[in-house]
Structure formats: C-alpha cells, structure tokens
A and B are shown apart, each in its own frame.
Chain A
Amino acid sequence: MNVEYTIEELMISTIAKRIGDGFLVVEGINTTLPTAAYRLARLTHAPRATFLSLAGNVYVNDPIRLCFALEEEEALKHAIGFQGSEIPPLYTTFKHDFEMLRSAQIDKFGNVNSTVIGDFSNPKVRLPGISGVWDVFGLDDHIRCYFPRHTKRIFVERVDFVSALGFGDGSPQAREGMLGSGPYEVITNLGIFRFDEKTKEMKLISLHPGISVDMVKENTSFEMVIPKEVGTTEPPSHYELELIRTKIDPLNLRAIESASGKERLELLRWILEEEKRLSETGRWEGIIR
C-alpha cells in the first residue's frame, strides 16, 4: 500500500525508531524533527522515555505538542522537575541516552562547524555558534547528527573551521585524550550514513525510498563511501503519520526546518498567528494567569 508522506515525516519516524523505552532524550536548540521524534517514540514503542526540554532545562514527562509561543508553558505543565546549571555536568556524569545534533557544515570525517563560513579571522558569515554540540562531541559515544537539507554546501570535504572534532583527519591519534567514541550516525533528507570503522570516512548505510546513490553523490562535496549493499529506509506507517499530523505537530512546525526564504517566513507567520488564535480562543491553554 502506498502512503504519501513528506521527507520530514520520514526523518521523524527514522529518528523515533532509535529512541528506546526509558531513554532520557535531550533537546537541542531549535531542533524540531528530533523533538517530534521523541513525541512519536513516546506515543508508540517508548512510553517511559523522558525528554529534557531546552525550554528551561525541564524534564518533560508527556508527549506535548510542538509549538513556539507556548513551548515554555507546555514544558512546565508537563514537568517532572527543573534543572539549571546541573545540565552541563549531565553530559559528563549522568549520561543522557539520546540527542540529535545539527551543524552548519559536516565533513567526511564527521568534524562539524557552526562557527564561521570562510576564514575565522575574516569570515564570510559569522554563524551563531556551536553551543552544546562542542561538549557532546568531546564526551559521548554514539553521537548522532541530522541534516534536513543534504547539500554540497553542508557536506563538505573539510569544514571551514573545526568547532567540534569528529575523527579529525581520520588518523587513529586524532581523538587521543578525548572521551567518547566520536560521531556514529548521520540522518539526512536523502539517507542514513555512518562512519567506516577503519578509515573513519562517512559511508552510506541506507537510502530513503526514491533516492538514488547518484543523488547522494551529487549533493555531497566529498567522496562518500558507497558499500555494495545499501539498505532502504523504512517509510513511516499510517499510524505514525496520523500521530504526527494530528497529535504531535498539527501546526506543521516540522516543515520549517527544511524550508527557506520567503516560503519559510510565510509558513512561520501562519503558524505563529494560528498559535495565537488557538490560545486566545481558549483552545490551547497555557499557564498564564
């Protein structure tokens, strides 16, 4: 049976499958797809997963709806508890189970950059910053990244600046002295990728339905390792799509991550106005007195 779905919905479903029951999932800054995936996992196979929301470092116990204006209130309404500066040590001591990270660039050895495009001392663009990705890359095992738009500008031969070290130049000494085993998996709108155990180069694991090896090559600036056997990513089920569209993200925040320019702005404005209308007519209750 053919079920129509968007690439964001497939990515949400793919990420959700990696969240085990009882996992502590950490939310990144403005990472909509993994946030939706947590909710999906929670409503399907992982009923005892907990989510550490960026909206105030709140342990959230319910699969709340995706939103902008009410995000903080939704997190607080469903909180087990709050943390402040206890969070950064969480990375080192009480390891969290799952986080999906994103950056402006990634290279074939899994080094990431969210600092500058161009030369550091004379940049074309000064990016907002790498934030917690820097901590996680230095400490954790099984680091996972996601990119809603797999393009040549993002998948580069060598990052313009190493904000956080993956496997460096691929040599065995590159991560000497560091904790954690480095990046593990990359999920994009084209497929699923991991790193070769020996050479540490990024390699294709699975193509999403309808995507060819050539499309991956065309959108990657470095030579991707392409094994003989490549899997096909499982599409989202009917039930998953229904949950995503009606319970998890009825306002379609998921489309924002891969949209750009005017289309993105219009979508964002529509969502914000809709949120406002829903809260003003009492159909979405926050905690404002």
Chain B
Amino acid sequence: MGKLALNKVRSLEEALSLLEDGAAVGLGGLIYWRRPIKAVRAIIKKRVRNLTVVTFIGSIEVDMLAAAGCIKKVHANLVGLQAFGMAPNFRKKVEGKELEYVEHSEGSIVLALKAAGMRVPFLPTKALLGSELLKVNNWKTFKCPLTSQLLVAVPALKLDVAIIHVTRSDENGNAHLEGIIGMDPELALAAEKVILTTEEVVSTREIMKEPYKTRIFSHLVDAVVELPKGAYPTSCLPFYRLDTLHLLEYSEHAAEPKWMEAYLAKGGDS
C-alpha cells in the first residue's frame, strides 16, 4: 500500500521509535514560533544520545537538548534566545567542546536542506565568499563549469528524521501551517522519516477547505501525533501565542543546573 493511504496516527512514543541514537534530526519552526517542544521533552525523557540537530535559528529547544546531553552536533544559522539573551546551556557545551556547532548563514542552511531533498551532494551560491567560516566548516569553493566564476559548494544535510509541529493534520499527514512557514517544507523533503506533531487531527475534508494552508503533504509523512499545546511555550497560531514571561524566566535560570534539571523533568504544559 502506498504511503498516501495509510493512517499514520501514532502515540508520541511510537513515533519516536523512528529516532535512534546518533541520528540527524531536523526540528521545525523558527526562533520561538511553532517549535516541537513536547517532542523535544519526550526525546529528553527517552535519553536519546549523540543526535545531530539541524534547525533554522535554534532557541530554547536546542538549549534544552544541549542541557540534557542529547546532542553532539548542531547545524544552525544562529542559536540564541534573541531578546532574552544567549542560550546558556548550548553556549557552555560548545565552549567546553562537548558539542560541535556548525554555523551556517540564513541562505546556506536552506541550500543544504534543498540539496539533500534533491539528492545532490551540494548546491552552489555566490554568497558566503570571504568568510573564515568557510575554512572552519571545511566548505569548498570551486570554479563554475559554465562561467568560471567562483562559487561556494554548500554540502547537503541529509536528515534521518524531521520533527515538525503543525497547526492541523489529517490522519495521512496532509498538514496546514498557519502563519510562519520557516524551512519546514525543506526539512520534510530532506528527511528519510517525517514525524508531525499536531494541535489537532482533522478529516481530509477539513484540510481541503483551506488547501492553500497545506504545506506538508502526506507522501512525505510517516507518523502523525495529536499533541495539543505541542509547541508551548513557543507559539502555535491560532491556538496560542509565545509565552514571553516563561521565556524570560527560562533565560534567567537556565544556567543553574538544579533549576534546569527540574525544568526538564516537568510536564511542560505551563
């Protein structure tokens, strides 16, 4: 049976059996909007180890995973809590060399995912030249075979699993994203397996009422997990907004190991 016909609704535990130690995992959303926080909490509880995380502007979710010791490498164009400061656990682990941070540009992280989705080893860009990051990332420049101009080869970032929190999805994984889109369609294309966590599972007819909101399609999706408040304390419009006071509290205390331990042990709904 083709992937389109399957009912993929699973428990979070069942879905996360797709994620093994050492996997490369893409996390959906950006900054503090529509991040898969409940899935991240479950990854931490499951004690998955040595993950490589790929994300577009990482924030609290990367910091939580870093604090819990789940990750060995992060590919992102920025990791921080923005107005709320730096991501303290992430920073500490990177400075202590327990965690490798491959710094991308806004453009290169997208090109890397697109390349993986297209199954080509790299995509070229005219940006990025002149930066010392090319050297430390070990990215190559080359002469264009058609025009001889100098280009940068951004290596493909193939993902084992993408975890994306969506506004609503049907049982097959046709999903609406309301508002921000981020790089979620690229994450889904770059990944071997795709797990959607969703505020609600609805009928396909319901999805069809607003087809222009469908950004993830079922042929890419392997598991759909109904998870209300799955992005909290980040936002998932139109259900809830970013809890700024929660983030402020996090930024004030996340560097304290005891506080952080208690924070990670909590359920995460408030």
A191 contacts the other chain (CB 8 A):
no
B232 contacts the other chain (CB 8 A):
no
Report if A56-B111 is in contact (Cβ < 8 Å); known contacts: A129-B77, A131-B57: no
Chain B residue at minimal CB-CB distance from A273: B245
Q: Is the CB of A128 within 8 A of B183?
A: no
Q: Per a CB cutoff under 8 Å, which of A76, A139, A163, A164 touches B126? A: A139
Q: Is the CB of B82 within 8 A of A135?
A: no
B263 contacts the other chain (CB 8 A):
no
Docked Cα-Cα span, A269 to B79, in Å, equals 22
Stretch at the interface among B9-17, B42-50, B86-94: B86-94
- Residues of chain B contacted by A125 (CB below 8 angstroms): 91, 95
Q: Is the CB of A128 within 8 A of B129?
A: no
Q: Per a CB cutoff under 8 Å, which of A29, A84, A136 touches B181? A: A84
Q: Is the CB of A82 within 8 A of B133?
A: no
Q: Per a CB cutoff under 8 Å, which of B86, B114, B150 touches A85? A: B114
Please, how many residues of chain B have a CB less than 8 angstroms from a CB on the other chain? Answer: 61
Q: Is the CB of B181 within 8 A of A30?
A: no
- Residues of chain A contacted by B127 (CB below 8 angstroms): 91-92, 134-136, 138-139, 179
Q: Is the CB of B130 within 8 A of A165?
A: yes
Q: Is the CB of A272 within 8 A of B240?
A: no
A243 contacts the other chain (CB 8 A):
no
Please, how many residues of chain A have a CB less than 8 angstroms from a CB on the other chain? Answer: 62
Q: Is the CB of A73 within 8 A of B237?
A: yes
B22 contacts the other chain (CB 8 A):
no
Q: Is the CB of A135 within 8 A of B105?
A: yes
A interface, by DSSP: helix, strand, loop or mixed? Answer: loop
Q: Is the CB of B242 within 8 A of A69?
A: yes
| Contacting residues of chain A (76-90) with chain B, CB-CB under 8 angstroms | 76, 82-85, 87-89
Docked Cα-Cα span, A135 to B105, in Å, equals 6
- Residues of chain B contacted by A82 (CB below 8 angstroms): 179-181
- Residues of chain A contacted by B228 (CB below 8 angstroms): none
A132 contacts the other chain (CB 8 A):
yes
Docked Cα-Cα span, A29 to B57, in Å, equals 10
A161 contacts the other chain (CB 8 A):
yes
Report if A288-B239 is in contact (Cβ < 8 Å); known contacts: A129-B78, A135-B107: yes
Docked Cα-Cα span, A164 to B125, in Å, equals 15
| Contacting residues of chain B (55-99) with chain A, CB-CB under 8 angstroms | 57, 76-80, 82-84, 86-87, 91, 94-95
B244 contacts the other chain (CB 8 A):
yes
CB of A283, distance to nearest CB on chain B (Å): 15
Q: Is the CB of B183 within 8 A of A272?
A: no
Q: Is the CB of A177 within 8 A of B136?
A: no
- Residues of chain A contacted by B239 (CB below 8 angstroms): 288-289
Q: Is the CB of B238 within 8 A of A289?
A: yes
Docked Cα-Cα span, A21 to B155, in Å, equals 39
Beyond contacts A85-B113, A134-B105, A163-B133: 12 other A-B pairs, Cβ-Cβ < 8 A, are: A56-B182, A58-B180, A89-B107, A91-B127, A92-B107, A125-B91, A128-B79, A132-B105, A136-B127, A137-B130, A163-B132, A289-B238
Chain A residues proximal to chain B, CB less than 8 Å: 29-30, 54-58, 68-70, 72-73, 76, 82-85, 87-89, 91-92, 115, 120, 123, 125-132, 134-139, 161-165, 168, 174-175, 177-179, 256, 265, 268-269, 272-273, 275-276, 286-289
Chain B residues proximal to chain A, CB less than 8 Å: 30-31, 33, 57, 76-80, 82-84, 86-87, 91, 94-95, 101, 103-108, 110-111, 113-114, 125-133, 136, 149-150, 179-186, 215, 235, 237-245, 248, 252
